[in-house]
């Protein structure tokens, strides 16, 4: 018989024999089989103790320096530029009242002399009218006496005619004299009545000339272009010899004492600022809903110790930016730095990028939780009685290294122990063991806005 056939016949018997021998050996050991599952130790977790409700945080946003007020100085009169200081060019600082440009005023001064001469003529006419008024009054008195005499003469002639002492021709002559005297009196009275009208007419002409004189004086003043306030020249568009007309842009100047920071706030930033203003002790109206909350602001520059104090004053007035879904706002700030931080010659210049810090003291009670304690699915785990407790939270504000949640939206409380270490598997009530608690970090940084 071949060896392969023998191995196929004996192989199964050998396997059975080996199994019986192994069973006999195990039985001879005398160890009873386990009757209960092996109990694993609870996992060890690191925890952090929650502090008291957060009383304050800060909103930090980027901004850009823009002018608070920029004035365009245009020509208001026609003429040729005859003078301008050589050292006053764009980029130079000027004081209020400094002469920037001088337009030739000769034509306007000649016009002023002409108007002044006409005013003198009107004044002489008024004096003449006063003299005429006095003379006419005397002539009227004489004409009244002449008329009275003529009337008496006519009455005497008529009485003599009744007695046949005189003729009708004498009566007619006396009557003609009386009519001439009456006519002279009427003419003088008409002249006297016209005197007030002539006076009013001359007064009206004088008022027109006075208005023209004032307008010419204003034109002469407008030939001098001066700085309306302390500021920086940003444009110089005219030189000596240029002929300018009303409306031509000559200069631009921006205010030097005050600047504005152009920044953008999210809707939730505005909500927190309004919540910060609505203090419990504040009984006055919180303001129009169309106005930005009037809060203090601190402006700083990167790698620069200087800081400037300002206020959030207004919206830019264009509503929500459709690209970023933020609200453009303006922070008004004095270019003068705080004395205790003033170093070097650093100033706020147009176009600089700065950081605006807005303090928020919310009236809503907020619980601060370490960022590492918040799980991606919105869960926070705490330890209570060596058992794991699962909390569902809604984040109200993201800070640097931590998050804030509303105290009324969760059952977490100060002094609760939250788990900051990862766990592979969790379920409500799972046994856990706490490691030595980590102390809360010192010098917590505040107020980094969430992306």
Q: Write down the architecture of domain 47-55+364-434 according to CATH.
A: Beta Barrel (2.40)
Q: How far is CA 27 from CA 13, 18, 22, 30, 35, in A?
A: 21, 14, 9, 6, 17
Sequence-separated (6 or more) residues with CB below 8 Å from residue 236: 88, 89, 90, 250, 251
Stretch among 24-33, 233-242, 286-295 having the lowest mean pLDDT? 24-33
Sequence-separated (6 or more) residues with CB below 8 Å from residue 362: 54, 57, 272, 275, 276
pLDDT of 281 > 80? The answer is no
Q: Domain residue spans in the chain? A: 47-55+364-434, 57-65+257-280+287-360, 76-99+226-246, 107-222
Banded model confidence at residue 451, pLDDT cuts 50, 70, 90: very low
Q: What is the pLDDT of residue 154?
A: 80
Q: What is the pLDDT of residue 278?
A: 63
Which residue is listed with tokens 């706030």?
265
Q: What is the pLDDT of residue 426?
A: 86
Q: What is the pLDDT of residue 73?
A: 93
Banded model confidence at residue 443, pLDDT cuts 50, 70, 90: very low
The four Cα atoms 126, 132, 136, 138 give a dihedral, to 10 degrees, of 110
Q: What is the pLDDT of residue 444?
A: 43
Q: Write down the architecture of domain 57-65+257-280+287-360 according to CATH.
A: Beta Barrel (2.40)
Q: What is the mean pLDDT of residues 343-366?
A: 84
Q: Which spans in 106-167 are helix H?
A: 106-162
Portion of the chain with pLDDT greater than 90, in percent? 32
Over residues 175-196, the pLDDT tens digits come to 888 888 888 888 888 888 888 8
């Amino acid at each position: 018989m071949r060896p392969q056939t023998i191995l196929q016949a004996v192989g199964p018997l050998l396997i059975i024999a080996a199994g019986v021998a192994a069973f006999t050996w195990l039985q001879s050991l005398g160890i009873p089989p386990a009757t209960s599952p092996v109990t694993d130790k609870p996992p060890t977790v690191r925890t952090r103790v929650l502090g008291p409700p957060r009383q304050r945080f800060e909103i930090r946003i980027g901004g850009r320096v823009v002018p608070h007020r920029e004035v365009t100085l245009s020509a208001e009169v026609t003429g040729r530029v005859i003078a301008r200081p050589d050292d006053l060019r764009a980029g130079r600082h000027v004081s209020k009242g400094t002469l920037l440009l001088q337009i030739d005023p000769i034509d306007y001064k000649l016009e002023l002399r002409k108007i002044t001469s006409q005013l003198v003529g009107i004044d002489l006419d008024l004096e003449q009218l006063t003299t005429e008024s006095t003379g006419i009054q005397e002539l009227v008195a004489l004409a009244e006496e002449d008329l009275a005499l003529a009337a008496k003469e006519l009455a005497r002639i008529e009485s003599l005619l009744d007695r046949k002492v005189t003729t009708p021709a004498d009566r007619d002559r006396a009557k003609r004299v009386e009519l001439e005297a009456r006519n002279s009196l009427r003419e003088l009275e008409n002249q006297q009545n016209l005197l007030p009208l002539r006076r009013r007419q001359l007064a009206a002409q004088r008022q027109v000339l006075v208005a023209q004189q004032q307008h010419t004086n204003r034109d002469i003043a407008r030939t001098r272009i001066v700085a309306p306030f302390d500021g920086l020249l940003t444009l110089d568009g005219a030189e000596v010899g240029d002929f300018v007309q009303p409306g031509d842009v000559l200069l631009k100047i921006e205010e030097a004492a005050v600047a504005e920071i152009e920044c953008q706030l999210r809707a939730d930033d505005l909500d927190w600022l309004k919540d910060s203003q609505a203090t419990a002790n504040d009984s006055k109206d919180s303001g129009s809903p169309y106005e930005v909350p009037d809060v203090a602001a601190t402006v700083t520059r990167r790698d620069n110790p200087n800081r400037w104090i300002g206020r959030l004053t207004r919206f830019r007035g264009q509503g929500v930016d459709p690209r970023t879904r933020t609200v453009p706002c303006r922070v008004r700030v004095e270019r003068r730095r705080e004395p205790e931080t003033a170093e070097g010659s650093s100033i706020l210049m147009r176009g600089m990028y700065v950081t605006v810090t807005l303090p928020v003291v919310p009236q809503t009670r907020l619980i601060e939780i370490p960022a590492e304690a918040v799980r991606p699915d919105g869960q926070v785990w705490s330890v209570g009685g060596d058992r794991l407790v699962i909390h569902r939270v809604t984040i109200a504000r993201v800070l640097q290294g931590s998050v804030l949640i509303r105290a009324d939206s969760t059952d977490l409380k100060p002094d609760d122990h939250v788990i900051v270490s990862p766990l592979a598997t969790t379920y409500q009530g799972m046994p856990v063991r706490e490691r030595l608690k980590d102390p809360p970090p010192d010098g917590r940084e505040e107020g980094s806005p969430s992306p």
